[in-house]
């Protein structure tokens, strides 16, 4: 069992709180357990849509041909990918 040391604080209105309390009670879980499970499942689903895609045989052949085909230069892409990003900005510094 992993020790849970991190916290996540949420602000919500009374209707949202009542909904979460009712749903957690209906599922037999605490509000924290219910919210954590639902949020974790939603996060995994969002990320899965960006990492996994399913193709039928015809779509796979088109995709595979595109991957095997010659590369081409996309104007500006090399500069975009080699430049600084928001992740390169030191914490606390606003680059706007």
Every domain of the chain and the residues it spans: 14-71
**6-26 pLDDT per residue, tens:** 999 999 999 999 999 999 999
Q: Quote the CA–CA distance of 43 and 49 in Å, as a whole number.
A: 10
Q: Which residues contact 35 (CB under 8 A, 6 or more apart)?
A: 10, 20, 24
H helices of the chain, where? 14-27, 31-51, 57-68, 77-82
Looking up tokens 């706007």, which residue turns up?
A: 96
| Per-residue pLDDT, 50 | 81
The model's pTM: 0.52
Looking up tokens 């595979």, which residue turns up?
A: 64
Tell which residue, 45, 47, 21, 16, has the closest CA to residue 32.
21
- Provide block-wise average pLDDT over 10 residues at a time, the chain (96 residues): 86 96 97 96 88 90 94 91 82 60
| Per-residue pLDDT, 55 | 94
């Amino acid at each position: 069992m992993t020790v849970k040391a991190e916290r996540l604080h949420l602000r919500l209105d009374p209707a949202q709180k009542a909904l979460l309390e009712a749903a957690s009670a209906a599922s037999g879980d605490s509000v924290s357990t219910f919210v954590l499970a639902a949020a974790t499942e939603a996060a995994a689903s969002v990320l899965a849509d960006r990492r996994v895609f399913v193709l039928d045989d015809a779509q796979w052949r088109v995709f595979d041909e595109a991957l095997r085909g010659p590369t081409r230069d996309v104007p500006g892409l090399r500069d975009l990918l080699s430049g600084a990003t928001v992740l390169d900005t030191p914490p606390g510094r606003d680059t706007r």
